[in-house]
């Protein structure tokens, strides 16, 4: 039997293999908002669940092609695309949780997700934040009304690595939905399915798109969760194979009703970006490790948080999960006597910008920007220092990145 093709081969050929006209290597970019039918029965059939397109708010052939591409990367059973990672996350929480339900979440999460939890609490969803690097803390938070557990694979910005495997095994035993935000690791470092995730969210705006030219988000069902016993699936979506019910509800309520739809234009750009994900990730991971090692030994640097360093509390776990690659995000705490703004203003290669997973290296002061809104007390709980920088490492030459830090640190 022929050997199975690798991640890159499958990714660069995925559009073409779905069938295109004239041997085109890309799926076309469909701008149509409505799709016409020559047979009224066919029109009705699509409204009643047959695969097809009716109105672009629920997807186009271009977004569907991107969905298949990411489903293949995640080795999942299906995906639904959204206009951004936050649209994907908010649609998933809002369509699967109800008033009176309980969600257990890692306390180490992206700031905007933390802010979204405020909205969920206002709507009557109970949320317990725990240190998910320890599965026992997740288990201890379980209540009779617990429906879902949420974690990030590599936490933004602290780089904590949750006990992804231990939590996955426990959720499977307990019949809980296990939702993973894999934005920082990407399916290239490890598909969420290997941790027994039920659903995986990826912000496509980050590594998967990679070029800083389009926003997008994706929810992928790994096919592992049995939705038949999940109480919040509406009667209307309890038809056909139960494996597909969760994603059907996310698509109908989250995309059709809430309308955070990805445009065909953005989907095309993200799909082109995604073709080189493995090459970019290899380069980004090796650059990040080199920069982390350089900064760690620098006398003007107090602390470097990067899972690739032996001193990182979950270094061994990260090595096991991600095969010796540790992602592109590092958090760096400068010596207390350095003015963080003066330091940043001296950098010449890195861009002072939010965002991560871009081809270009980006840096920002965490406490004054993405974590400003939550206040000093919550920042302390999350272990965010005032001189902390979040660095998203890009694909530049390693020596250029190190030299940029070297010259900026030299003046303090």
Ligand X SMILES: *Cc1c(COP(=O)(O)O)cnc(C)c1O
**Helix crossing, 398-410 with 277-296: angle to 10°?**
30
Smaller CB separation from ligand X, 230 or 280: 280
What are the contacts of 289-295 at 24+ separation with CB within 8 A?
A: 289/326, 290/398, 290/401, 290/402, 291/330, 291/391, 291/393, 291/398, 291/401, 291/402, 291/405, 292/330, 294/402, 294/405, 294/406, 295/330, 295/332, 295/405
CA distance 379 to 372: 8
Smallest distance from ligand X to CB 172, Å: 23
Three-state DSSP at 90 gives helix
Q: What radius of gyration do the chain's Cα atoms show?
A: 22
Smaller CB separation from ligand X, 177 or 338: 177
Smaller CB separation from ligand X, 149 or 215: 215
Smallest distance from ligand X to CB 254, Å: 14
Per-residue tokens: 305: 């948080």
Sign of CA dihedral 132, 135, 136, 139: positive
Backbone angles phi, psi at 79, to 5 degrees: -145, 155
Three-state DSSP at 364 gives strand
Tell me the residue nearest to ligand X as measured from the CB. 85
Are 352 and 363 within 8 A, CB to CB?
Answer: yes
CA distance 3 to 397: 34
Smallest distance from ligand X to CB 154, Å: 8
Which residue has 């496509």 as its token pair?
204
Smaller CB separation from ligand X, 63 or 409: 63
Smaller CB separation from ligand X, 215 or 340: 215
Smaller CB separation from ligand X, 156 or 198: 156
Q: How many CB atoms lie within 10 A of CB 91?
A: 26
Smaller CB separation from ligand X, 14 or 153: 153
Residue length, the chain? Answer: 412
Smaller CB separation from ligand X, 227 or 328: 328
CA distance 318 to 300: 27
Smaller CB separation from ligand X, 90 or 137: 90
Sheet containing 329-334: which strands, arranged edge to edge? 301-305, 329-334, 388-392, 362-365, 351-352
Smaller CB separation from ligand X, 247 or 356: 356
Q: Site residues (CB under 6 A) for ligand X?
A: 84-86, 110, 113, 152, 156, 181, 183-184, 203, 205-206, 215, 217, 356
Q: Which of 294, 297, 315 is nearest to 306 (CA)?
A: 315
Per-residue tokens: 107: 């306390």
């Amino acid at each position: 039997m022929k050997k199975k093709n690798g991640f890159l081969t499958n990714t660069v050929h995925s559009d073409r293999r779905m069938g295109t006209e004239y041997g085109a290597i890309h799926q076309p970019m469909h701008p149509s908002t409505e799709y016409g039918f020559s047979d009224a029965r066919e029109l009705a059939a699509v409204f009643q669940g047959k695969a097809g397109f009716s109105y672009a708010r629920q997807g186009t052939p271009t977004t569907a092609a991107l969905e298949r591409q990411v489903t293949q990367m995640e080795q999942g059973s299906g995906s639904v695309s959204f206009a951004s990672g936050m649209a994907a996350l908010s649609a998933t929480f809002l369509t699967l949780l109800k008033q009176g339900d309980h969600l257990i979440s890692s306390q180490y999460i992206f700031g905007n997700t933390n802010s979204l939890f405020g909205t969920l609490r206002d709507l009557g969803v109970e949320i317990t934040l725990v240190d998910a690097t320890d599965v026992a803390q997740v288990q201890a938070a379980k209540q009779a009304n617990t429906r879902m557990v949420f974690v990030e694979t590599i936490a933004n910005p602290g780089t904590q690595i949750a006990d992804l495997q231990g939590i996955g095994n426990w959720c499977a035993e307990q019949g809980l939905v296990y939702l993973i935000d894999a934005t920082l690791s990407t399916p290239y470092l490890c598909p969420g399915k290997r941790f027994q995730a039920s659903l995986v969210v990826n912000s496509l705006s980050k590594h998967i798109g990679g070029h800083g030219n389009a926003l997008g988000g994706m929810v992928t069902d790994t096919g592992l969760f049995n939705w038949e016993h999940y109480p919040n699936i509406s009667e209307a979506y309890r038809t056909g194979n139960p494996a597909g019910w969760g994603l059907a509800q996310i698509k109908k309520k989250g995309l059709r009703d809430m309308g955070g739809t990805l445009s065909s234009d953005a989907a095309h750009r993200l799909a082109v970006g995604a073709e080189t994900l493995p090459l970019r990730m290899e380069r980004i991971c090796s650059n990040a490790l080199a920069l982390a090692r350089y900064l760690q030994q620098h006398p003007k640097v107090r602390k470097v948080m990067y899972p690739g360093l032996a001193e990182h509390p979950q270094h061994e776990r990260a090595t096991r999960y991600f095969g010796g690659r540790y992602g592109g995000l590092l958090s760096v705490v400068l010596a207390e006597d350095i003015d963080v703004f003066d330091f940043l203003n001296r950098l010449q290669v890195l861009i002072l910008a939010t965002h991560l997973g871009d081809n270009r290296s980006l840096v920002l002061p965490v406490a004054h920007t993405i974590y400003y809104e939550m206040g000093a007390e919550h920042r302390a709980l999350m272990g965010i220092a005032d001189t902390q920088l979040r660095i998203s490492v890009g694909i530049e030459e390693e020596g250029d990145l190190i030299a940029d830090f070297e010259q900026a640190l030299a003046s303090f």
